Amino acid sequence: MSADPAVERVTIVGDGQMGVVMAAMLAWRGTEACVWGPFPEPLAELARTRRTARLPGLELPAAVRVELDAARALAGATMVVNAIPTQFVRAAWRDAARHAPAGAPVISVTKGIEDSTLLRPTQILAQAVPCATGRPRPVAVLSGPTIAAELARRLPATMVSAAEDHALAERVQRTFSTPWLRVYTNGDVVGVEIAGAAKNVVALAAGMVDGLGMGSNAKSALLARGLAEIVRLGVAVGARPETFFGIAGVGDLATTCFSPEGRNRSCGEAIGRGETLEGYLERTDSVVEGVATSRALLALAARHGVDMPIVEAVESILFRGITPKDALRVLMGREAGAERIG
Amino acid sequence: MSADPAVERVTIVGDGQMGVVMAAMLAWRGTEACVWGPFPEPLAELARTRRTARLPGLELPAAVRVELDAARALAGATMVVNAIPTQFVRAAWRDAARHAPAGAPVISVTKGIEDSTLLRPTQILAQAVPCATGRPRPVAVLSGPTIAAELARRLPATMVSAAEDHALAERVQRTFSTPWLRVYTNGDVVGVEIAGAAKNVVALAAGMVDGLGMGSNAKSALLARGLAEIVRLGVAVGARPETFFGIAGVGDLATTCFSPEGRNRSCGEAIGRGETLEGYLERTDSVVEGVATSRALLALAARHGVDMPIVEAVESILFRGITPKDALRVLMGREAGAERIG
């Protein structure tokens, strides 16, 4: 764990709160970090002020470069982080991808399933950021319960670094570990990504439970039943069940369902209180990953013949005009039999 | 599920908030319910006022009998609920046990491990409430994320009914199901009881994280790592791992770690803020089950050669004068390697 922090040069693609806080954390430990984002205006603003409205209190360390030009940002990078929301990954990389050094691994910190293809973030990135050599782009995923505002305050946290290539998982672990961030390795890329995507959909439902004032007993039941259906899908697509019971699984799910800050939970709460999805999305400038993911996940579940009643309820509320109260009545009305997890 | 509610006559032993709310729920659905408790004064107060200070807003339905005499309370009962805290079960039943009708099953809603014997509640009850016939007392456990104040408001909730005898598990399911309480059956008595006991200890640690202001990322990591060590112990003592990922496992753990109301979390929070255990216990009249259970669980883990670093940290804070900050430093300082769940 006592790696030389100066070994890597990390370029972060995406200047949202996760991108910014990861750049700051790398700089704090002495690793060269550079930030680039696809939208020139907010990027220029970040370069000028060294601050972002979404992370009050964080000033970007002087060592972090903010590059307005993708070619300059990516030149010489030994490792690239993708912090672009799932549905926008291809668009963000369209012109930038050719500047990514061949062989530099791309690490995804994105949580979702692409609506149009049903692919996971590392699968999208392998296509969207090809290596000039024609060899497959090395990819990894870094995931866990990490509210950016807490990372910015250097509060203790944990993540999982997952890659098919164990040496890459360990390299990511070495690069991002700090005294307050413990990174575990895991070989189950599929499981870590399915867990990350699905927890946002369950958090939308958890928020609706909050908005309807149904209490912690109901929310915890939802969390447990939600975890059960996530595991069912995960196993069907080739994930290992243990992954869902770890930090990137139940850990991230718990934070996302219970922490007041979460975007997906907050969106669900507004809808539970009677606001429309359109109304909520209009008044917030955050991307609510769970919205598109609910549809993608349901399609993925159908393809694999997996029953996901909570995801189905969320999708029917968001896209089919069912009220949260009615959807919940259907959920609670299912005959309770023997408890079934796997 | 459309059982005749009039079939059973249920006597609840224990007049704390869980005992009172279960009696009220039975009465609401038309099942005969009677409450008895081992302490004459608060019991007489409950009989007179039909209210308890711990559940403001709940008035005991007229149909619930509050019996000051154990013989009268237990006469004719077809089912008995034990709602006495773990460490006091034997004392509470000492004189009452002989009045429990032979053959009437005892259903435990108690969560803990007996400090002096390392037994689970249903094991204690089988000894403490023997059948006059000499045959073993039928026992079952009813567990899940059930904050009593929410049950009293008829907010939706779920529980698991577990018994070795599946017919008994189903009978308990039928007896306690209401339109707002879904009861699932489960054959894993050991798993449900280990989960219920251990979650209180993890919740003490979660409260300490709150008291130290360490944030949701840390608390969720603790929840996930806590779940992993609970599963390790559970499997070592013969439980099924799936149970811990269900309602009585992760569901109850999430509520207990995150809901502000929880006694164990609140106690941990006070200690995290610097209060002593003695000071906290003196100013509260609730039993904090996790305190004695932390010691019992650690002894049980040692007996089975299972490593439980979070339980160990809690026990060292409560009984060995280690500060929460130092114990946490030890926990966070453990080398992060590959994630290990089972």
pLDDT at A1 over 50: no
In sequence order, the 6+-apart residues with CB closer than 8 A to the CB of A129 are: A80, A82, A93, A97, A100, A106, A137
Helix (H, G, I), strand (E, B) or coil at B64: coil
β-pairing, A32-36 vs B157-162, is unpaired
Taking alpha carbons only, the member of A146, A131, A172, A167 closest to residue A10 is: A172
Mutate to test the interface with B, among A176, A180, A202, A216 (most CBs of B within 10 A): A216
Which residues does chain A have within 8 Å of residue B215's beta carbon, measured at their own beta carbons? 147, 150, 153, 155-157
Share of chain A above pLDDT 70, in %: 96
Residues B107-120: what's their mean pLDDT?
97
Cα three-residue angle B44-B49-B52, rounded to 5 degrees: 85
Give the per-residue pLDDT at A54: 85
Task: Give the count of alpha carbons within 13 A of A88, CB side only.
Answer: 15
User: Average pLDDT over chain A, rounded to whole?
Assistant: 94
Give me B114's structure tokens. Answer: 């007996």
User: Average pLDDT over chain B, rounded to whole?
Assistant: 94
Cβ distance of B336 and A223 shorter than 8 Å: no
Cβ distance of A221 and B247 shorter than 8 Å: yes
**C-alpha–C-alpha distance, residues B132 and B121, integer Å:** 20
Residue A143, min C-alpha distance to chain B (Å): 12
**C-alpha–C-alpha distance, residues B249 and B199, integer Å:** 8
Which residues does chain A have within 8 Å of residue B224's beta carbon, measured at their own beta carbons? 145, 158, 245-247, 249-251, 254
Q: Which runs of consecutive H residues, i.e. helices, occur in chain A? A: 17-28, 40-49, 70-74, 89-93, 121-128, 148-152, 166-176, 189-211, 215-236, 241-244, 252-258, 263-272, 277-283, 289-303, 309-319, 324-333
Residues A283-294: what's their mean pLDDT?
92
Give the per-residue pLDDT at A109: 98
What 3 state SS string does B184-206 have? EEECCHHHHHHHHHHHHHHHHHH
Cβ distance of A254 and B220 shorter than 8 Å: yes
Cβ distance of B247 and A335 shorter than 8 Å: no
- Kindly list the distances between the CA atom of residue A203 and the CA atoms of A233, A311, B177, in Å, as whole numbers in the listed order: 17, 10, 27
Of B217, B224, B257, the CB nearest to A246: B224
**C-alpha–C-alpha distance, residues B157 and A46, integer Å:** 46
Of A185, A216, A336, the CB nearest to B182: A336
- Kindly list the distances between the CA atom of residue B73 and the CA atoms of A16, A328, B82, B97, B108, in Å, as whole numbers in the listed order: 64, 39, 13, 11, 17
Query: Mind listing the pLDDT tens digit for each residue in B211-257?
Result: 999 999 999 999 999 999 999 999 999 999 999 999 999 999 999 99
pLDDT at B339 over 90: no
Can you say how many angstroms the Cα of residue A263 is from the centroid of all Cα atoms in its chain? Answer: 12
3-state helix, strand, coil in chain B (%, to 5): 50, 10, 35
In sequence order, the 6+-apart residues with CB closer than 8 A to the CB of A275 are: none
Helix (H, G, I), strand (E, B) or coil at B297: helix
Residue B211, min C-alpha distance to chain A (Å): 13
Query: Mind listing the pLDDT tens digit for each residue in A62-83?
Result: 999 999 999 999 999 999 999 9
Give me B171's structure tokens. Answer: 């009978």
Cβ distance of A184 and B337 shorter than 8 Å: yes
B260: left (phi over 0), alpha (psi -120 to 50) or beta: alpha
Which residues does chain A have within 8 Å of residue B218's beta carbon, measured at their own beta carbons? 150, 155-157
Give the per-residue pLDDT at B1: 44
pLDDT at A128 over 90: yes
Q: What is the dihedral of CA B121, B125, B127, B133, to 10 degrees?
A: -150
Which residues does chain A have within 8 Å of residue B251's beta carbon, measured at their own beta carbons? 220-221, 223-225
Give the per-residue pLDDT at A339: 76
Residue B307, min C-alpha distance to chain A (Å): 17
CB A336 within 8 A of CB B182: yes
pLDDT at B71 over 80: yes
Alpha carbon distance, N-terminus to C-terminus of chain A: 35
Give the per-residue pLDDT at B336: 62
In sequence order, the 6+-apart residues with CB closer than 8 A to the CB of A7 are: A31, A78, A175
Find the residue in A nearest to B213 (Cα). A155
Helix (H, G, I), strand (E, B) or coil at A260: coil
Q: What are phi and psi of A239, to 5 degrees?
A: -85, 165
Helix (H, G, I), strand (E, B) or coil at A65: strand
Rg, Å, chain A Cα set: 20
Cβ distance of A156 and B246 shorter than 8 Å: no
Give the per-residue pLDDT at A2: 46
In sequence order, the 6+-apart residues with CB closer than 8 A to the CB of B276 are: none
Residues B315-321: what's their mean pLDDT?
96
Residues A171-197: what's their mean pLDDT?
96
CB A121 within 8 A of CB A127: no
Find the residue in B nearest to A253 (Cα). B220
Which residues does chain B have within 8 Å of residue A339's beta carbon, measured at their own beta carbons? 160, 184-186, 243, 246-247
**C-alpha–C-alpha distance, residues B289 and B86, integer Å:** 7
How much is the pTM? 0.94
Give the per-residue pLDDT at A222: 94
Give the per-residue pLDDT at A86: 96
Give me A153's structure tokens. Answer: 């305050």
CB B244 within 8 A of CB B231: yes
Share of chain B above pLDDT 90, in %: 89
Give the per-residue pLDDT at A335: 55
pLDDT at B24 over 70: yes
Of B147, B150, B336, the CB nearest to A183: B336
Which residues does chain A have within 8 Å of residue B158's beta carbon, measured at their own beta carbons? 217, 221, 224-225, 336
pLDDT at A328 over 70: yes
CB pairs under 8 A between A and B: 200
**C-alpha–C-alpha distance, residues A231 and A236, integer Å:** 8
pLDDT at B6 over 90: no
Angle, in degrees to the nearest 10, between helices B189-211 and B309-319: 60
Query: Mind listing the pLDDT tens digit for each residue in A11-45?
Result: 999 999 999 999 999 999 999 999 999 999 999 99
pLDDT at A333 over 70: no
**C-alpha–C-alpha distance, residues A163 and A185, integer Å:** 8
Give me A110's structure tokens. Answer: 């994105």
pLDDT at B334 over 80: no
pLDDT at A332 over 80: no
Q: ipTM greater than 0.95, yes or no?
A: no
Residues B261-265: what's their mean pLDDT?
91
Q: Does residue B199 have an active-site annotation?
A: yes
pLDDT band at B341 (very low <50, low <70, confident <90, very high): low
DSSP B179: T
Mutate to test the interface with B, among A174, A220, A331 (most CBs of B within 10 A): A220
β-pairing, B157-162 vs B139-143, is antiparallel
Burial class for B275, CB neighbours closer than 10 Å (0-12, 13-18, 19+): middle
pLDDT at B260 over 90: no
Q: What is the dihedral of CA A267, A228, A198, A156, to 10 degrees?
A: 80
pLDDT at B17 over 50: yes
Residues B24-50: what's their mean pLDDT?
97
Q: What are phi and psi of A80, to 5 degrees?
A: -125, 135
Of A217, A243, A250, the CB nearest to B150: A217
Sheet holding B139-143, edge to edge: B65-66, B32-36, B9-13, B79-82, B106-108, B139-143, B157-162, B181-186
**Better-scored residue on pLDDT, A337 or B24:** B24
pLDDT at B74 over 70: yes
Query: Mind listing the pLDDT tens digit for each residue in B126-164?
Result: 999 999 898 999 999 999 999 999 999 999 999 999 999
